[in-house]
Amino acid sequence: MKEFHDADAASTNPKNIGELKTALVNRLIYSIGKDPIDTHERDWFFALAHVVRDQITLRWMESMRQYYLSDAKRVYYLSMEFLIGRTLDNALLNTGGYEAFRLALEDMGMNLDEIGGEEEEAALGNGGLGRLAACFLDSLASLRMPGFGYGIRYDYGIFSQRIEDGWQVEHPDNWLRYGNPWEFARPEVLYRVQFYGRLVETQDTDGQRRYQWLDTQDVMAMAYDLPIPGYGEGTVNNLRLWAAKATRDFELRYFNEGNYIKAVEQKTSSENLSKVLYPDDTTQMGRELRLKQEYFFVSASLQDILVHFGTEHRDLAELPDEVAIQLNDTHPAIAIAELMRILLDQHGLAWDQAFGITVRIFAYTNHTLLPEALETWPVRLFERLLPRHLQIIYDINQKFLDEVGRRFPGDGDLIRRVSLIDEDGGKRVRMSHLAIVGSHKVNGVAKLHSELMQSTIFRDFARLFPDRFINITNGVTPRRWLHQANPGLAGLITEALGDSAWVSDLERLRGLVPLAGDAEFRSRFRTAKFDNKARLAGLLKQRLGLALDPASLFDVQIKRIHEYKRQLLNLLHVVTRYNRIKDQPTAAWIPRTVILGGKAAPGYRMAKLVIKLANDIARVMDRDPALQGRLKLVFVPDYNVSRAMELIPAVDLSEQISTAGTEASGTSNMKMTMNGALTIGTLDGANIEIAEQVGRDNLFIFGLTAGELAELRRRGYQPWDYYHANSELRRALDMIASGYFSPEEPDRFKPLVDSLLMGGDQWAVLADYADYVAAQEAVDRLYGDGEAWARQAVLNVAGSGWFSSDRSIREYAGSIWNIQPQA
């Protein structure tokens, strides 16, 4: 199917192929230092990556030069996470070199897919938030927009997950072990970042109070640049990641004392700053090192941004006309206080002018409503680590609260609620409040999420700043998630629409609507899906020794394991189905393969128990002859970007079953829709917009709405009522609680069942169970009619254009950043 990739005819002529072969051998010898007669496949991967990087590099320099000459306004996307995945195939497809390189390698007796398999993932993110940042970089470059990413070059990305005896075990992700062929180290781009220390107050000549931050412990931030190639004639943008380096201060001090070992020890300890990505999403961790990471990359990025702006010879009042900064959640929100510090303490601006500039530059994206994920930091920690920033935050707060007091006199409770400082039980800085007060726009990531954000967690702020709050629904890049991951379907779409313009203009997929009614097209569409399922089955056979039937319905839930995402609801359905099959073994069951994948935060006991439960259920079912050919459960270990690219094209049924009102948007829901899956989902996050776009009849919506759930909770939700009222639910829960799937440790899963029955079932799993099971029955009925299913699957692809991250980025560019595509 690879022939459907838009091979650039000129680049696949024999002369060019010959040149590529020469380039590969030269790189192998001169850059990798290997003799062609004695190589590992990895050596060829590195040689290849270098040749591809060479091709990108010139275009990258042209783009940078052009941005410089046009002096266009830029956006800087600040994010603690960029979950990029592998780069090779993406770079080859975006630049049109895929086919030529494939042929060159083939001529040399090698296979591009195998060579590409040697690449380590850049897994510098936890999940949705980090992957969104990566999709946004692809769109910025493909749309020729001057957009730059800033983040941290972690030595260790998200842990790799192994399953041992059914349990998750975390292993370090040493992704830089063999080096990263895509990056350019910039040892000369080095900034000093200060921590701790003390403040000294001085008077300016004009009587203004000024502050000096002295006796700090400093760390250097060194830049590494990653080129981000846009699609086709798109530009090549830059992602700059910071690595921590020791200053030479320790060296001098301890060397003078003759203490060499101590000097080296100090060096390692400051370089630990960028050692590892924190693997927790949605639980906030008040760890000092995390706050240091946040400030570290923010400080370096702002210094770099201002160097580029040319602070020395330009009027800072112009900064907001040249620079927009997007805060990816509150993790970089300290940037607001940092810019204020620079403007006040280093450039001597007056408060009001500095704050006016700051607010015009920053915008903040919120990615979660879960209270336990909203970042707050102990004032005591802040005071020790960043004393001047705490002071500035207090000053921002005071001016803000004065204004609130003027507008709403006498409302002390409002003041307490919106304060940047939480005064209850140990003072803490509320980073979301800082982000809102210091930004001109705050956006949620799907319509429902943005509404709930304004009516719940940020209600008071929405009243104070009604024009500040907007929605920008997330999107995903169709380059990686359809064109690259699913060449079979991509080729079919290109053929059906007449060209591949859809890759950079995804709304064109609407042109497939009439083809949903075309039997010939549907048949080819079904073949493409079947081939993807067979390919996945082959991979899982090879890797895990599993036998999957590609003719069965592939029912897939892949995402971080979290109670609110309700993997447990999925498992309750699996157990129910198991019981039904056991009760009626001769009935005509639609064969199903239920696939689960995702990582649990290392300290999240319940999530880890869910993984073990899935594996224990799978083991019992695998041993039962009555289930064979009817129902199989599989937990795929180490879900990551590459796994996602294998799985998503093979999905029939996309599980998006979070408790309504909890999943901010979801993005795997969009990827699966784009790849022709039907969704079974709640009216949550972007599922609602998927239903609008593809038509409510073309997916399986079930469960309580956010409003109904709020009402149910007001009345007093009683999980036991559901337990008593539904015998199938009772049976499934009793089996899990009593050790049916864990006879060697009967109580193993009691904590899970207790969280539902004794713990109040915070995520309303039981309330949605019956409706979910009914929706699953509707799934079976439709799947039984392959043509009817295919028709709806085509309509899902046709309706997925809205979920391109190009659309999201255009909205950000227009309504927040005020930046334009470059010629």
Q: What are phi and psi of 245, to 5 degrees?
A: -130, 150
Least gap, CB of 292 to ligand 26W (angstroms): 14
Closest CA to 515 of 523, 505, 507: 523
Least gap, CB of 128 to ligand 26W (angstroms): 3
Pair 98, 104: CB distance under 8 Å? no
Least gap, CB of 436 to ligand 26W (angstroms): 15
Q: Considering only the stretches 8-16, 276-284, 334-342, 790-798, report the one whose residues sit in contact with ligand 26W under the rule CB under 6 A.
A: 276-284
Least gap, CB of 119 to ligand 26W (angstroms): 24
Closest CA to 277 of 481, 385, 129: 129
Residues 6+ apart with CB under 8 A from 365: 326, 327, 328, 329, 442, 443, 444, 445, 472
Least gap, CB of 368 to ligand 26W (angstroms): 4
Residue 667 falls in the annotated catalytic set: yes
Pair 606, 755: CB distance under 8 Å? yes
Which of 283, 398 has the CB closer to ligand 26W?
283
Residue number with the smallest Cβ distance to ligand 26W: 128
Least gap, CB of 715 to ligand 26W (angstroms): 28
Q: Which residue matches tokens 């830089």?
A: 176
Q: In a 3-state reduction of DSSP, which class is residue 594? A: strand
Which of 278, 408 has the CB closer to ligand 26W?
278
> Mask 333-372, x = binds ligand 26W (CB under 6 A)?
----------------------------------xx----
Query: In the numeric block, which tokens belong to residue 551?
Result: 């003719």
Does residue 127 interact with ligand 26W by CB under 6 A?
Answer: yes
Least gap, CB of 529 to ligand 26W (angstroms): 25
Catalytic residue among 559, 592, 612, 643: 559
Query: In the numeric block, which tokens belong to residue 198?
Result: 């003390």
Instruction: Dump strand ranges (E) for 598-718.
Output: 631-636, 653-656, 678-681, 700-701
Which of 281, 638 has the CB closer to ligand 26W?
281
Residues 450-509 that bind ligand 26W (CB under 6 A): 474
Q: Considering only the stretches 22-30, 115-123, 125-133, 514-522, report the one whose residues sit in contact with ligand 26W under the rule CB under 6 A.
A: 125-133
Which amino acid is present at 754? Answer: D
Catalytic residue among 358, 368, 593, 667: 667
Least gap, CB of 260 to ligand 26W (angstroms): 39
Does residue 280 interact with ligand 26W by CB under 6 A?
Answer: yes
Report helix angle 765-783 to 567-583, nearest 10.
Answer: 60
The torsion defined by the Cα of 456, 711, 704 and 721, in degrees rounded to 10, comes to: 130
Q: Considering only the stretches 201-209, 269-277, 278-286, 624-632, report the one whose residues sit in contact with ligand 26W under the rule CB under 6 A.
A: 278-286
Q: How far apart are CA 205 and CA 203, in angstroms?
A: 7
Least gap, CB of 369 to ligand 26W (angstroms): 9
Distance in Å from the first CA to the final CA of the chain: 34
Which of 649, 666 has the CB closer to ligand 26W?
666
Query: In the numeric block, which tokens belong to residue 627?
Result: 């289930």
Catalytic residue among 131, 671, 748, 791: 671
Which amino acid is present at 202? Answer: T
Among 121, 281, 304, 616, binds ligand 26W (CB under 6 A): 281
Report helix angle 750-757 to 605-622, nearest 10.
Answer: 120
Which of 295, 578 has the CB closer to ligand 26W?
295
At 495, which helix (H) or strand (E)? Answer: helix 487-497
Closest CA to 49 of 13, 101, 111, 8: 101
Among 375, 555, 655, 768, binds ligand 26W (CB under 6 A): 375
Closest CA to 193 of 346, 273, 295: 295
Interface with ligand 26W: number of residues (CB under 6 A):
22
Residues 149-178 that bind ligand 26W (CB under 6 A): none
Residue 671 falls in the annotated catalytic set: yes
Least gap, CB of 445 to ligand 26W (angstroms): 4
Residues 436-455 that bind ligand 26W (CB under 6 A): 445
Pair 385, 464: CB distance under 8 Å? no
Least gap, CB of 447 to ligand 26W (angstroms): 13
Catalytic residue among 389, 565, 577, 630: 565
Which of 282, 673 has the CB closer to ligand 26W?
282
Q: What are phi and psi of 591, to 5 degrees?
A: -60, 135
Q: In a 3-state reduction of DSSP, which class is residue 466? A: coil
Q: How far apart are CA 796 and CA 435, in angstroms?
A: 37
Tell how far CA 750 is from the center of its chain.
Answer: 32
> Mask 129-148, x = binds ligand 26W (CB under 6 A)?
x--x----------------
Least gap, CB of 409 to ligand 26W (angstroms): 36
Which of 615, 665 has the CB closer to ligand 26W?
665
Q: Which residue matches tokens 């039962």?
A: 624
Q: How far apart are CA 796 and CA 679, in angstroms?
A: 9
Catalytic residue among 27, 50, 367, 522: 367
Catalytic residue among 560, 592, 643, 748: 560
Residue 565 falls in the annotated catalytic set: yes
Does residue 513 interact with ligand 26W by CB under 6 A?
Answer: no
Residues 626-685 that bind ligand 26W (CB under 6 A): 663-667, 685
CA distances to 212, 316, 340, 433 from 395, in Å: 16, 21, 11, 14
CA distances to 291, 468, 815 from 439, in Å: 20, 8, 13
Closest CA to 159 of 599, 801, 788: 599
Does residue 328 interact with ligand 26W by CB under 6 A?
Answer: no
Which of 42, 447 has the CB closer to ligand 26W?
447
Does residue 798 interact with ligand 26W by CB under 6 A?
Answer: no
Residue 313 falls in the annotated catalytic set: no
At 659, which helix (H) or strand (E)? Answer: none
As beta bridge partners, residue 163 has 168
> Mask 77-116, x = binds ligand 26W (CB under 6 A)?
----------------------------------------
Instruction: Give residues in contact with ligand 26W (CB under 6 A).
Output: 126-129, 132, 280-282, 284, 329, 367-368, 373, 375, 445, 474, 663-667, 685
Active site residues: 367, 559-560, 565, 667, 671
